[in-house]
Homo-oligomer: A and B are copies of this chain.
Amino acid sequence: MRGKHGAQTDGAQGGARRARGKDAARARLDRDEPFDLYKTPGFLVRRLHQIVVSACYEGWGDLDISPVQYGALMAVRAFPGIDQRGLARAIAIDRSSIGTVSGQLERRGLIARRTGTRDKRNKELFLTAKGAAVLRRAHPLAWEIQDRILAPLDARERRVFVGLLAKLVERNNALSRAPLEPTGFEAD
């Protein structure tokens, strides 16, 4: 950290010489290794994810959709009639979560679920008019939200960051338990 996360972190590791009352804590710190959690990519990724989710709820406001729901709506619009499993693969969420998500979207009338004609095990998903309307409002806002999050970076940094992020995600796809399989819709 050392100024990375701000000067107010002295309690965490700096200025050991001026320790007064917190000897126990500081002793622990100096002995072994510093409290370096804040520098680890894992921690930072979790934080950024929290930030993205918050920014989405705030940015979409009364649309009241989550990032995952937005992704699901986008995918259902792109691939009408897609089944739940296919949707899960297309937006990289778990086979189990997709049931909850599509259930919510159906309950709110944003998508329609219909038992498959060809294969009765399937539920085919379609965007409703209401869902399409929500998506039309949500889409431009998504770009605003994104701009807001990326605001601290200049244009070049944004490109670099998103590029490296995409590379990491792509190359680690298999590591995830719900890997992305973008093909998604291979009917027939």
Chain A interfacial positions (CB closer than 8 Å to B): 1-2, 4-6, 8-12, 16, 18-22, 24-25, 28-29, 32-33, 35, 37-52, 54-56, 58, 67-68, 71, 74-75, 77-81, 91-92, 111-112, 114, 117-118, 124, 126-129, 131-133, 135-136, 139, 142, 145-146, 148-153, 157, 160-162, 164-173, 175-178, 180, 182-188
CA A83 – CA B149 in complex, angstroms? 31
A1 to chain B minimum Cβ distance, whole angstroms, is: 4
CA A42 – CA B48 in complex, angstroms? 9
* 8 Å CB contact of A44 from B21, B58, B128, B165: B165
Residues of B within 8 A of A118 (CB): 18
CA A172 – CA B127 in complex, angstroms? 34
Given contacts A35-B78, A55-B175, 5 further A-B contacts (CB under 8 A): A9-B131, A11-B186, A35-B74, A45-B49, A160-B160
A37 and B71: CB pair below 8 A? yes
Task: Give this chain's copy count.
Answer: 2
CA A75 – CA B8 in complex, angstroms? 12
A12 and B52: CB pair below 8 A? no
Q: Which residue of B lies closest to A151 (CB)?
A: B171
Residues of B within 8 A of A153 (CB): 164, 167-168
B45 and A126: CB pair below 8 A? no
CA A25 – CA B90 in complex, angstroms? 13
A183 and B41: CB pair below 8 A? no
B35 and A45: CB pair below 8 A? no
* 8 Å CB contact of A169 from B47, B79, B169: B47
A6 to chain B minimum Cβ distance, whole angstroms, is: 7
* 8 Å CB contact of A126 from B12, B81, B135: B12
CB-defined A-B contacts under 8 Å, sample of 10: A5-B135, A6-B129, A11-B182, A11-B186, A18-B187, A21-B185, A25-B79, A42-B149, A44-B169, A151-B171
